[in-house]
Amino acid sequence: MDFSAIVPALPGLWEGMLMTLQLMVLGVIGGVVLGTLLALLRLSPSKLLSNLAGAYVNYFRSIPLLLVITWFYFAVPFVLRWITGEDTPIGAFSSCLVAFMMFEAAYFCEIVRAGIQAIPKGQMGAAQALGMNYGQMMRLIILPQAFRKMTPLLLQQSIILFQDTSLVYTVGLMDFLNASRSRGDIVGQPHEFLIFAGLVYFTISFAASLLVKHLHRRLAV
- The tens place of each residue's pLDDT in the chain, 221 residues long, gives 777 888 888 898 999 999 999 999 999 999 999 999 999 999 888 899 999 999 999 999 999 999 999 888 887 777 777 777 776 667 788 889 999 999 999 999 999 998 888 888 888 788 888 888 877 888 888 888 888 888 888 889 999 999 999 999 888 889 999 999 999 888 888 899 999 999 999 999 999 999 888 877 776 65
Cβ atoms within 10 A of the Cβ of 164, count? 18
Distance CA 38, CA 65 (A): 19
The length of the chain, given as a count of residues: 221
Rg of the chain in Å (alpha carbons): 21
The candidate with the shortest Cα–Cα distance to 161, out of 90, 92, 69, is 69
Q: State the alpha helices, DSSP H only, in the chain.
A: 10-42, 47-60, 65-84, 92-117, 121-129, 134-137, 143-164, 176-187, 190-218
Cβ atoms within 10 A of the Cβ of 46, count? 10
pLDDT at 219: 63
Residues in CB range of 195: below 8 A, 6 or more apart: 1
Distance CA 135, CA 129 (A): 14
Q: Evaluate whether 69 touches 171 at the Cβ level (below 8 Å).
A: yes
**DSSP letters spanning 84-123:** HSS-----HHHHHHHHHHHHHHHHHHHHHHHHHHTS-HHH
Phi and psi at residue 85, to the nearest 5°: 80, 10
pLDDT at 4: 80
pLDDT at 2: 72
Residue 165 DSSP code: G
pLDDT at 56: 95
pLDDT at 202: 95
pLDDT at 45: 85
59-80 confidence digits (pLDDT tens): 999 999 999 998 888 877 777 7
pLDDT at 48: 93
Q: Evaluate whether 32 touches 108 at the Cβ level (below 8 Å).
A: yes
CA atoms within 13 A on the CB side of 186: 11
Helix 143-164 / helix 10-42 crossing angle, nearest 10 deg? 140
The CATH number of the structural domain formed by 10-218 is 1.10.3720.10
* pTM for this prediction: 0.87
